[in-house]
Structure 1
Amino acid sequence: MILVTGATGQFGSKVVEHLIKKGVNPYEISVLVRDVTKATSLKEKGIQIKEGDYTDHSSMVQAFQGLDKLLLVSSNNREAIENRTAHHKNAIKAATEVGVKHIVYTSFVRKPGFEDSAIADFQNSHVETEKYLKESGVSYTILQNGIYTEMILAFLGDKVADTKTILFPAGEGKASWVLREELAEAAAHVLITKDHINKTYTLTNTESVDFTSIAQNISEVLGEKIDYKSPDINEFKTTLEKAGVPEIYIGMFTMWSTALKQQTMDKEDNTLSTFLDRKPTSVSQFIEKVYS
């Protein structure tokens, strides 16, 4: 039996889809969800629905009974980063107590020196979780996923075609962007194949791309010049404030743009290509699909 946490979310739901596509019987899949009313479509497929969440230890103890493999999808809690770490540890503790045989954990890509980056707290949450998992005694696989290609659209905003300008303070920073969909497919692959015991994988694209290249890609698709401007971070904040962007999003945009500028996520790797048995979707392919 395989259990996927966060199965009504954008990542977990895709993992379930790929497990079924790869031939896993839906009756051999269970999911942990906070709201069972959102899992109707999964239940109709024959998937076992377990209600619980990362803050409720007893609910996870009950849900994890009899599992061979657990896909622990990292928490997306938007409050304090420490909450995420606590959530992950709660899940690992519960899995250990009931004898889950193997845990696959979705972590995040990192490079040497990440401690000084703008996303250091976010990274440290994963570092602490990985350490706790390794010390738990349960066999594990850690998937250090790259930044989602889909995030590019959030960083660009929806006015690029109108303004002909990308305004984002990432400088010349590159990232090895990868589709959430393909990371979910890779997670499904790891769950149903062998030789992944106690291994850590970097799952990123084979080429890192900056926003200058992204602007060029959009220009080619639209047939008109798109400029990329990387303003001072304070100027960028002021611009967003005047535009009425909520503070929580301003903080997110500035944090991730700074991390990109620091070259925190430009780690290229071929492992994802191996798991997919094809090259991952490139940024240019993604841009063409979105803007054509």
Structure 2
Amino acid sequence: MKIAIAGATGQLGQLVINALLERGADPAQLVALGRSEEKLAPLAGKGLETRAADYNVEASLVSALEGVDKLLLISGSEVGQRITQHENVINAAQRVNVSLIAYTSIANALTGNMKLAQEHVATEQLLAGSGIEYVLLRNGWYTENYTDQLLGYLNSRVVLGAAGNGRISAAPRADYAEAAAAVLLSEENESGKIYELGGDKAFTLSQLAGAVGAAAGQEVNYQEVEPEKLVAIYTESGVPAQFADILVDTDVQVRDGALEVNSADLSQLIGRPTASLGKTIKEALAQ
């Protein structure tokens, strides 16, 4: 059985491949798909078959998916283009009779009301109408969305946000990757399953600030900012306007629970508790 990972050269894709190999997958049965032959080369060095494919070019996807049984469709990173890109992948999978697609959607996709969720919801609808069996991996927030900003938090001694006391069930990207690997290697029928994935212990942005300060041995506080002002702060710091609006909208929806996951799906799939916020921050600081 061949398992293909679309988006294999990205951060999540590489972690999924590592998790598959750690769980005993035969590298010869894994197909890594990516745009760049150069970036695919290290994966070929691990014994995987590599195939160049572009989410924007359906013909490249058809040839890349030949002989594939299961496909992990990692959502594209280009906001505003993902529906067309994902449709290209799904159409290609139809043409070569892929038997199962696992798609990395977003937590609480149908109820969270986030602008960021709109393309994920549209993709879920495309899958539902495709005739292909599929499973939804609704990934919650990555802890790296915050730990990647540690230097800024520590220099300013403040975490800015518009999330109020909303709780976020974040987990490291590696935990979500391990869950995807578990589903892809499962001998059970995964078709039709929806996994709501998030960290075991949700936290507020105020608690995030406290955890950052505790790990670094300095005071860091959370500062609530009006949404319009926060958009301006982001854009003035160089964040593209469309993405700044999405980030702040996510914060606003977090107030109403958009990123709080009330299932244990993630820890059950990976067979252990999810990595804690404090541990993840300390590891990031050590790097």
**With structure 1 as the length reference, what TM-score do the two structures score?**
0.89
Check the 8 A contact 2:109/2:138 in 1, yes or no.
no
Residue 102 of structure 2 aligns to a residue in which SS? strand
Instruction: Note the aligned Cα RMSD (angstroms).
Output: 2.0
Partner of 2:269: 275
Partner of 2:226: 232
Task: Give the superposition deviation at 1:112.
Answer: 5.8
Partner of 1:149: 143
Matched, 1:173 2:166: yes
Check the 8 A contact 1:217/1:288 in 2, yes or no.
no
Partner of 2:95: 97
Instruction: Report the Cα distance in structure 2 between the residues aligned to 1:62 and 1:179, rounded to whole angstroms.
Output: 33
Matched, 1:290 2:284: yes
Instruction: Report the Cα distance in structure 2 between the residues aligned to 1:136 and 1:243, rounded to whole angstroms.
Output: 42
Instruction: Report the Cα distance in structure 1 between the residues aligned to 2:233 and 2:64, rounded to whole angstroms.
Output: 47
Partner of 1:4: 5
Instruction: Report the Cα distance in structure 2 between the residues aligned to 1:221 and 1:44, rounded to whole angstroms.
Output: 37
Partner of 2:82: 84
Task: Give the superposition deviation at 1:238.
Answer: 4.0
**With structure 2 as the length reference, what TM-score do the two structures score?**
0.91
Instruction: Report the Cα distance in structure 2 between the residues aligned to 1:221 and 1:129, rounded to whole angstroms.
Output: 39
CA gap 1:280/1:246 in 2 versus in 1, 3 angstroms:
same
Task: Give the superposition deviation at 1:63.
Answer: 1.1
Task: Give the superposition deviation at 1:58.
Answer: 1.2
Residue identity opposite 1:42 in structure 2: L
Residue identity opposite 1:285 in structure 2: K
Instruction: Report the Cα distance in structure 1 between the residues aligned to 2:86 and 2:238, rounded to whole angstroms.
Output: 34
CA gap 1:286/1:139 in 2 versus in 1, 3 angstroms:
same
Runs of at least 5 residues in structure 1 that lack an aligned partner in the other structure: none
Residue 30 of structure 1 aligns to a residue in which SS? strand
Runs of at least 5 residues in structure 2 that lack an aligned partner in the other structure: none
Residue identity opposite 2:230 in structure 1: F
Check the 8 A contact 2:215/2:278 in 1, yes or no.
no
Residue 281 of structure 1 aligns to a residue in which SS? coil
Of 155, 159, 164, the match for 1:162: 155
Q: Percent identity?
A: 29
Deviates further, 105-114 or 60-69: 105-114
Instruction: Report the Cα distance in structure 1 between the residues aligned to 2:20 and 2:40, rounded to whole angstroms.
Output: 16
Check the 8 A contact 1:102/1:139 in 2, yes or no.
yes
Residue 140 of structure 1 aligns to a residue in which SS? strand
Partner of 1:208: 202
Residue 183 of structure 1 aligns to a residue in which SS? helix
Of 192, 198, 220, the match for 2:185: 192
Instruction: Report the Cα distance in structure 1 between the residues aligned to 2:273 and 2:250, rounded to whole angstroms.
Output: 26
Residue 159 of structure 1 aligns to a residue in which SS? helix
Check the 8 A contact 1:218/1:291 in 2, yes or no.
no
CA gap 1:245/1:191 in 2 versus in 1, 3 angstroms:
closer
CA gap 1:254/1:276 in 2 versus in 1, 3 angstroms:
same
Residue 129 of structure 1 aligns to a residue in which SS? helix
